[in-house]
Structure 1
Amino acid sequence: MSSYQTPNNANRIDLSIHPDTAGAAQASSNRLRCSEQDRKNLESAASGGPDLVCLSHLRWDFVYQRPQHLLGRCAQARRTFFFEEPVIEFTDSWWIDVSQRDCGVWVVVPHIPEFVNEELAAAMQRSLINELFDCCGIANPILWYYTPMALTFSDHLQPCATVYDCMDELSAFQGAPPALRALEKALLNRANVVFTGGQSLYEAKQHQHDNIHAFPSSIEVAHFAQARMQLDDPADQAAIPHPRLGFYGVIDERMDLELIDGIAQARPDWHLVIVGPTAKIDPEQLPRHANIHYLGGKTYQELPHYLAGWDVAILPFARNESTRFISPTKTPEYLAAGKPVVSTSIRDVVRPYGQQNLVHIADTVEEFVAAAEQALDQARQDSSWLQQVDTFLANTSWDKTWAQMNGLIEAAIAQDMALQAVPNSRQSVAANASQSSNSSKASRKGYAAPVANLTKSNVG
């Protein structure tokens, strides 16, 4: 929960872009805010097809991962909005900040008061997403979901297609909302196409939808291959002795902290370099030894520089429900960097990387230490394995992954349009669409008022 920060309105304005929605924007009491430059960029933005609105439980600026890779590519062809989960503020107001990132994606951050219940929080977010649609002229977009929880405030929208990119089994994560499973079922019923973040997750959900596809972690090979060159060691890593066993990623309940502790104690001459932010666990619980170095979060651009200074890259994931279906993006990234990899027996690492002898698999402290010793020898004495790595990664890229996903989305849109164009049903479809559109407009224009009334009566 964030501490209270007074909104800075000095460089913020209403987004009153389209004349036919100017009244709605003015009636919003400045609930949608962005900089003058972002407003100009949004006014001039052209879209190659329908806009895409992503509804996510993740923060765009937290860790650079799957959503950033995919949606950054999407934004090259169409307006792309990334609607984050709300920031909780100690205030009696609610609003959204809209800002554009270098990749072209528009990041939308809702802010809501901390002292509202779930129902009112959903109502506020519904009002805010309506505001976004009205002010930015978004109509019948592609809705792209990363979390089923977003249905609580978006189920009234009228998309041309609904996509569910199921990158994790969120219901297995610590603190998962009780309603998540039921909402996921509802989302699967709505979705035109479903993607999964790995093969094991696909196998678990393949019978829940008739248009579901596995898209495991991909990679920007050239970016991580920089680590094979002699790069300058970052200042906070330069003084750490070798050999170095490195990990980058979010440090949370998926990490096997006992394993890390055991490795550090078993080999005090090795140094474990841990790069990444801590989430959902108390930092005081992290193992502390002279040969464990926590360097904090780093940008995507910095990662090759850290990787270049490691001798072995590790994936010390716990084997529990939260890791049962994960497909770590860092696996191919480590390999592209030219680093031997040791991982616990995560299913989507074992298949295919372990089976093709690209990654050493070990679970206990003793096994992990032995595997790391083999990996160190591999790094020192044998470079031929890199040829196998390069062959494996040659046909893998985020560009190809996005192109395949986009093709499936376009096919889903075309199929839906074809169904609506059937002669015998054209009139009824048009009538239903008109009725639905009018109903949607009426509810959207009238929805903010009840929220405002609730706020006046319930917020102190």
Structure 2
Amino acid sequence: MKVTDSTPVSADVVNTPSRSTTSAGAMPASTLSGAGEVQDLICFSHLRWNFVYQRPQHLLSRATKNFRVWFIEEPIWDNDFRLNVCQQTDRLTVLVPHLPHGTSPEEAVRLQRQLVDEFISQRRMTDYVAWYYTPMALLFSDHLKPRLTVYDCMDELSAFWGAPPQLLEQERKLIERAGVVFTGGYSLYEAKQNRHPHVFAFPSSIDFAHFSVSRRPQPDPIDQRSLPTPRIGFSGVIDERFDYELLGKLAQRRPEWQFILLGPIVKINPALLPKAPNVHYLGMKAYKELPTYFSNWNVGMLPFALNDSTRFISPTKTPEYLAAGLPVVSTPIRDVVRTYGSEDFVQIADTAEAFEKAIELALARKHPSDWNSIDGFLIKNSWDHTWGEMNRLMVAQMSLPVEQ
């Protein structure tokens, strides 16, 4: 890849900003002490830690090498008012606000602010990184004074169904405060690059060791053991991004193929999903279980609809399927085409007929043809390397003097 001043960062390419290096999201001071002294990272997330294992879990579990991580989720409506503390490891703790039923939106903001303030005070936390996945959390945290504010923009949340009307305005404020902005793919990078001097693209990476065990025979999980082959699988959230019409057409055209879907069904009416003898919804699985499922599939599919909610996505399942040794067929999602389709690592199909032909090629082991190149790419784009690059950029940003 030729590197220019506007080249987005991947796991192995670093974009050096040419504009001002003043950190808008850092604590005001004439000089800063060593960045290595910052020991805490507070994350504000719209996703729950124990939901589908994806970007936040991959990155923040690795962040524990450098920080104590405090992962604050969206509130749960309950009969009492408290902050539930659940320690996942000795370096990572999940915090869940519990708010009384009937709390107004304005009061919910005030109560969450109170819980966060009490937590920070009790921990005597004065020097920390604030890491945001949701700009909406700024409503109750905009008074905080972190050493560095990081916005890891993993999705264009404003394009999702049910997005709050004030989300875009809150994102504008968050980008203004941030010292550095990371994006979950190249399309998101292109959408954000002119809004901040320090924007870096970090597309979905891979834990190769975790998924490559699928290339060796693994015990077939009990809930798919009785299903015949060939098996075409999907793993991920089944929501407005999922092309259920495409799945229905494929199931109808090829009744001898078994379509296996792992993941929760959210934000859509389950009645819309195709019901057929060869379509199997097995529910959400733990991250550690996925290799055993993948090992007993024949093809991995990415049947995403082409709509506003998928315009900027960079599916984590693309490299996971490949690491598992599965041939992959995807609809023409921009970041999949750009990263994997252009290299002929993944087949791209825009109709049910084309999808069917691509699966036929995969089942005949005629695609992909260059697994050595695929593995070389995957090994270079590990989550470990991605976190290392992110942390390097954060440390550099925290080491800069801040204008008074």
TM-score (norm. length: structure 2): 0.89
1:394 equivalent in alignment to 2:379: yes
Equivalent residues of 1:314, 1:343 under 8 A apart: yes
**1:273, CA displacement in angstroms?**
0.4
1:147 equivalent in alignment to 2:134: yes
**Which residue number corresponds to residue 321 of structure 1?**
308
Query: In structure 2, how many angstroms separate the alpha carbons of the residues matched to 1:288 and 1:82?
Result: 38
Query: In structure 2, how many angstroms separate the alpha carbons of the residues matched to 1:165 and 1:411?
Result: 17
**1:49, CA displacement in angstroms?**
2.4
1:366 equivalent in alignment to 2:353: yes
Equivalent residues of 2:327, 2:368 under 8 A apart: no
Equivalent residues of 1:206, 1:212 under 8 A apart: yes
Structure 2: gaps spanning 5 or more residues: 1-35
1:80 equivalent in alignment to 2:65: no
Query: In structure 1, how many angstroms separate the alpha carbons of the residues matched to 2:364 and 2:100?
Result: 56
**1:285, CA displacement in angstroms?**
2.1
**Higher normalized helix content (fraction of residues):** 1
1:271 equivalent in alignment to 2:258: yes
Query: In structure 2, how many angstroms separate the alpha carbons of the residues matched to 1:269 and 1:292?
Result: 11
Alignment of 1:35-114 (within 5 A): 49-89=38-78, 91=79, 93-102=80-89, 104-114=91-101
Q: Which of 407, 416, 424 is the matching residue for 2:392?
A: 407
Query: In structure 1, how many angstroms separate the alpha carbons of the residues matched to 2:106 and 2:369?
Result: 59
RMSD, aligned CA: 1.3
Aligned length: 369
**1:137, CA displacement in angstroms?**
2.0
SS of residue in 1 equivalent to 2:53? coil
Structure 1: gaps spanning 5 or more residues: 1-46, 421-428, 430-460
**1:382, CA displacement in angstroms?**
7.0
C-alpha distance after superposition, 1:282-330 (max 9, x if no partner): 2222110000011000011000000000000000000000000000011
C-alpha distance after superposition, 1:63-90 (max 9, x if no partner): 111111111111122211000000112x
C-alpha distance after superposition, 1:238-258 (max 9, x if no partner): 111100000000111100000
1:342 equivalent in alignment to 2:329: yes
**Which residue number corresponds to residue 19 of structure 2?**
none
1:164 equivalent in alignment to 2:147: no
Query: In structure 2, how many angstroms separate the alpha carbons of the residues matched to 1:103 and 1:332?
Result: 30
C-alpha distance after superposition, 1:121-166 (max 9, x if no partner): 0000000001110112221310000010001100011100000000
Equivalent residues of 1:53, 1:81 under 8 A apart: yes
Query: In structure 2, how many angstroms separate the alpha carbons of the residues matched to 1:382 and 1:401?
Result: 28
Equivalent residues of 1:75, 1:103 under 8 A apart: no
Equivalent residues of 1:48, 1:78 under 8 A apart: no
- Please identify runs of 4+ aligned residues in structure 1 that moved more than 3 A: 381-384
SS of residue in 2 equivalent to 1:72? helix
Matched AA of 1:390: D
Query: In structure 1, how many angstroms separate the alpha carbons of the residues matched to 2:380 and 2:162?
Result: 37
**Which residue number corresponds to residue 425 of structure 1?**
none
Equivalent residues of 2:81, 2:99 under 8 A apart: yes
**Which residue number corresponds to residue 209 of structure 2?**
222
**Which residue number corresponds to residue 22 of structure 2?**
none
Query: In structure 2, how many angstroms separate the alpha carbons of the residues matched to 1:272 and 1:103?
Result: 40
**1:261, CA displacement in angstroms?**
0.5
Matched AA of 2:184: G
**1:388, CA displacement in angstroms?**
2.1
**Which residue number corresponds to residue 402 of structure 2?**
419
Equivalent residues of 1:48, 1:77 under 8 A apart: no
More relative contact order, 1 or 2 (CA 8 Å, 6+ apart): 2
1:246 equivalent in alignment to 2:241: no
TM-score (norm. length: structure 1): 0.78
Equivalent residues of 1:275, 1:298 under 8 A apart: yes
C-alpha distance after superposition, 1:81-128 (max 9, x if no partner): 000000112x2x311111111373110011112312111000000000
1:365/1:112 Cα in 2 relative to 1: closer, same or farther (>3 Å)? same
